[in-house]
Amino acid sequence: MEIKLSSQALINQAMEKTGLADFGGQTFTEGLNVLIDSLKNDIDLPEGTADFFYNQILQILINRLDVTQYIKDHPEVLEEKIEKPIFIVGLPRSGTTILHTLMALDPTSRFLRNYESAGSICPPSEIIPDSVDPRITTYHESMEGIFTLAPVLRGINGINFMAHGSAECQNLMAHEFVHLGWSCGSSLFTHGSWVSECNMNKAYQWHRLLIQLLQWKLPNERLVLKAPMHLFGLDHLLETYPDAKIVFTHRNPLEAMVSGVSMVYHWTEFTAGKADIQAIANWYPDLWAKGLKRALKVLETVNPAQLVHILHRDITESPVETVEKIYGKFELRFSKAFKKRMITWLNDNPRSKFGRHENLQFVKNHLDAAKEQERFQFYQDRFEMW
C-alpha cells in the first residue's frame, strides 16, 4: 500500500495534541524525512505496520515536545550527573542482550527499561509510585500479541522484549530518528544505511538528556546500557560520556551474520508480509562490517582501563564468571547478592523458555561463506578468537 505520511503533518499533529511548539531544536527533521522516504519506497508495508510507524513517529515527536517543556519546568534535571556509565557494544547476536540483562540485575545498577523507553517518556517514574505504571501492561500485551502471532520471533528475540527487561539505547536516540531497529525489523534499507553514515552527535545529546530525566526520579550508583548501534557512533558516545566504560562483545562474524540475517528476515516477513532474503543477505553484513571498522578505529584512542573485550562463547558457557571478569576489570564491587541474583535468573530463565532460533540453513544458503570471510577478515585478524 502507499504510505501516506508527511513530516509536516505529523509535526503539526504533535503540536496540536500537546499544545506545545518547542521540539528542542529541529535537527530531527533529516532523519524523519529519510525514514518516511524509506517507508514509502523500500518495501510495501501492510496497513497495520504503516499505522505502527505513524503512531511511533507521532509519539517520538510528542516526547520531544513534552520533554523540552518538562526541562523548562524542572531545570534541576540538567544537574543530574552521569559518571562512568557502562556501555555494552558489539555485533548484533554476539551476546549483548544476555550480558546486559545479567548486569542489570546488580542492585546498584540503573538500566534502561523497555516499558519506560518504548513509548511516552514524560513524566519519569518515581521510586515508589502510587500505582502500577500502565505502560508496563501496555508494553507486555503488545509484545505477547506479536509473539502469539509469530512464535518464531520469541525464539529469536524473546529475551529482548520483556516489559521490565533491559532496553537498547537506540530507543532514546530514536528522538533524532537514529534507530537501526526500524530498518532491521522491516527491511528499511535506505534509512538503515543513512543511520550508519549520519552524524550522531545530536542523537547522543538527546540520549544524555533523556537519561538525566529518567535517572532523576530513579537514580542508582551506575548506569549499565547497551546497543550494537553504538558501533557506528562510538566516537560521539565517548565525546558525550568521556569517562564511559566499554564492554565489547565478540562472536565469529559468520555466525553473527547468519543469526542476524535470519532475524531481519523473520521480522520483515511479520511486519511486511513478505521478505527478500537475498536482498537482506546482501545488505546486512555490509552494514555491520562498516560499523565494526568505524568502532575499531575509535578503540585505538580509548584508554585501555576503560575497555574490556568479551567473547560470545564465554557469555554462553560461563555467564556469571564473565560478568565477574568485567567487574574485576573496572574495579567494581561484585557482591554476593548480585551473584545470587544472576544465578537465580539464569535458573528461572533457561534459553529454552524463549524458544529456539532454528532453520538457519535457509539463511546459510543465501550467504557466501568465503565472501563473508573476506569481508570480515580485518576483524578476525584483529581478534584471533576462532
* pLDDT per position as a tens digit, 111-139: 999 889 888 998 888 888 888 888 888 88
Q: Report whether 348 contacts 289 (CB < 8 A).
A: no
Please, which pLDDT band fits residue 345 given cuts at 50, 70 and 90? very high
Question: CA of 71: how far to CAs of 52, 90, 133, in Å?
Answer: 28, 33, 22
**Sign of the CA dihedral running 116, 138, 354, 254:** negative
Tally DSSP H helices, then E strands, for the chain: 20, 5
Q: How confident is the model at residue 330 (pLDDT cuts 50, 70, 90)?
A: very high
Domains and CATH numbers, the chain: 7-382 (3.40.50.300)
Q: Which long-range contacts (CB under 8 A, 24 or more apart) does 289-294 make?
A: 289/253, 289/375, 289/376, 289/379, 290/196, 290/232, 291/91, 291/196, 291/228, 291/229, 291/231, 291/232, 292/91, 292/231, 292/253, 292/376, 292/378, 292/379, 293/378, 294/231, 294/232, 294/234, 294/235
* Alpha-carbon distances of 334 from 78, 88, 315, rounded to whole Å: 30, 18, 17
3-state SS, residue 154: helix
The stretch 298-302 carries a mean pLDDT of: 94
The percent of residues in the chain predicted with pLDDT above 70, rounded, is 96
pLDDT at 50: 86
DSSP conformational letter for 123: S
Lowest mean pLDDT among 142-151, 238-247, 294-303, 372-381: 142-151
For residue 248, what are the CA distances in angstroms to 153, 209, 251, 279?
Answer: 26, 24, 10, 28
> Residue type for 296, please?
L
Residue 4: predicted pLDDT: 72
Strands 222-226 and 245-250, sheet pairing: unpaired
CA distance between the termini of the chain: 46
Whole-number pLDDT of residue 46: 84
294 in Cβ contact with 178 (< 8 Å): no
Q: What is the mean pLDDT of the chain?
A: 92
CB 330 within 8 A of CB 245: yes
Residue 326's pLDDT band, with cuts at 50, 70 and 90, is very high
The whole-number pLDDT of residue 1 equals 47
Q: Answer whether residue 361 shows pLDDT above 60.
A: yes
Residue predicted with more confidence, 244 or 43: 244
Closest of 214, 188, 213 to residue 114, by C-alpha: 214
pLDDT at 355: 66
The model's pTM is 0.94
Q: Which of 75-89, 117-131, 224-238 has the lowest mean pLDDT?
A: 117-131
pLDDT value of residue 224: 97
Confidence at 283, pLDDT banded by 50, 70, 90: very high
Judge whether residue 386 has pLDDT over 60: no
